Amino acid sequence: MSAPRETAVLETARLRLRPRTPDDAEALFPSLSDAGLMHFWSGPPHADVAQTRAEFARARPEWRAWAITLKGEDRAIGVVAAGEKRQGNVSELGYMLARAHWGSGIAAEAVGAVIDRIFAEGQRRVFADTDPENLASRALLERLGFRLEGLLRGEWETHIGVRDTALYGLLRDDWTR
């Protein structure tokens, strides 16, 4: 297995994405404890900031996580994570943004910056899975050029029951900004 890839600082017109740390727990706990925001997440809302801190501290060498911050501020307002699924070729994406920033285009800007990085590193494919009922997430993926590749029935057992997943994929050759 190759060494983990670097979680480099990424910048866009409005954002600075830096490596997420356990110190981001306090800033992101309000989102991770929000039952509405966490409805389609794989686990239930966080019970306390200690749970968020512990999750952020857990070592997962195949995953990189960026804290989304506004330029000129260092407080995390969301996170984008990328996990290498097939060495050097395929990565999975996940993302979350504080409710106060929904509808601002920040999620697309942040996820797009991570996609740019992944493809610049030579990956050929990025994918994301989302609950079929999570229409906002599906719309974001489609705006970024992802294609719906399939529906996996009964794929996840979550805090809201057994759920299907809508699987979206994007190839480097199809990525346009």
- Three-class SS state of 108: helix
| pLDDT at residue 83, rounded to an integer | 92
Please list, in sequence order, all residues whose beta carbon lies within 8 angstroms of the beta carbon of residue 61, skipping any fewer than 6 positions away: 4
> Which tens digit of pLDDT belongs to each residue from 116-154?
999 999 999 999 999 999 999 999 999 999 999 999 998
| Integer angstrom CA distances of residue 56 from 70, 81, 171 | 20, 12, 29
Q: Where are the beta strands (DSSP E) in 107-146?
A: 125-130
| pLDDT at residue 156, rounded to an integer | 86
Q: Where are the beta strands (DSSP E) in the chain?
A: 10-11, 15-19, 63-70, 78-86, 90-97, 125-130, 147-158, 161-171
Residue 3 has pLDDT above 70, yes or no: no
Residue 101 has pLDDT above 60, yes or no: yes
Report the interhelical angle of 49-57 vs 25-32 (nearest 10°): 110
Average pLDDT of span 88-108:
94
| pLDDT at residue 176, rounded to an integer | 83
> Residue 12 and residue 14: Cα distance in Å, rounded?
6
| pLDDT at residue 160, rounded to an integer | 83
> Which tens digit of pLDDT belongs to each residue from 158-177?
888 899 999 999 999 999 87
> Which tens digit of pLDDT belongs to each residue from 12-51?
999 999 999 999 999 999 999 999 888 888 889 999 999 9
Residue 2 has pLDDT above 60, yes or no: no
**Which residues share a beta bridge with 129?**
167
Q: Phi, psi (5° rounding) for residue 111?
A: -65, -40
Residue 59 has pLDDT above 90, yes or no: no
The structure's pTM equals 0.93
| Most confidently modeled range among 30-44, 81-95, 96-110 | 96-110
